[in-house]
Structure 1
């Protein structure tokens, strides 16, 4: 049997810090401390060659349980639907209108952070309701 490996989820984006800070707020993650010898990430960033400044940012689960999220600047913009997306579990154990109310409440909070609502997918007898959204750069995710 293969042992479980640690992993991180990497986002390609135009503005790594902006997207990372959105996901910190959305998930309750935090920005890790800067490398040893630097008081801030800005101090560290200024030591990089100009073409690498602002090119990456990360956030971590403060409990150490969830994966690290890494955000890297890429030159091309997003053009198609994500092949992978995050599901934020806000309605676990809830059904019907109680579940929809929990999804809508979290949706409202995330819209205040810059997310966009795409559509509510109502329960269909097989799957419970979920709400499709986009982060600050248009990456799809679901509230479920």
Structure 2
């Protein structure tokens, strides 16, 4: 029996991090409940105080095939390397220099919207096709693969 998976990020600013990851993954911020045009209107009707309206945010795959990504505000900051990270498959069918050129183009676009470049790992055939390591605006590492 398969299970549905949600990926959850602990963070300081759920709305900002959701916006960043929507750009990275081609996802969309999850729509508000039926009957509401905005999340602010929905949260207002639920009695959520203004200071708690950025406690969480979620992204969904517009094609409905990828996992939901959930962002929740936590009081502590990130203080160590991630033990689990996302590999964003930005050039899965490319190899060699063509692959690295494609990854560099995606990297430049993501750095422009808030990512930090950490390092580039050159292809080492036969097993390592090469990848680029980045961090999101709150320091969570991920790879362009």
TM-score band, normalised by the shorter chain? over 0.9
Partner of 1:141: 142
**Cα distance in structure 2, aligned partners of 1:28 and 1:99:** 20
Query: C-alpha offsets along residues 48-68 of structure 1, whole Å, 9 cap, x if unaligned?
Result: 135532100001000000000
Partner of 2:42: 44
Instruction: Give the superposed CA RMSD.
Output: 1.2
Partner of 2:124: 124
> TM-score, normalising length from structure 2?
0.92
Query: C-alpha offsets along residues 77-129 of structure 1, whole Å, 9 cap, x if unaligned?
Result: 00001111111111212111111101100001101111111100111232110
1:8 to 6, 9, 19: 6
4+ aligned runs moved over 4 Å, structure 1: none
* 8 Å CA contact 1:45, 1:54 repeated in 2: no
> TM-score, normalising length from structure 1?
0.93
Q: How many residues align?
A: 142
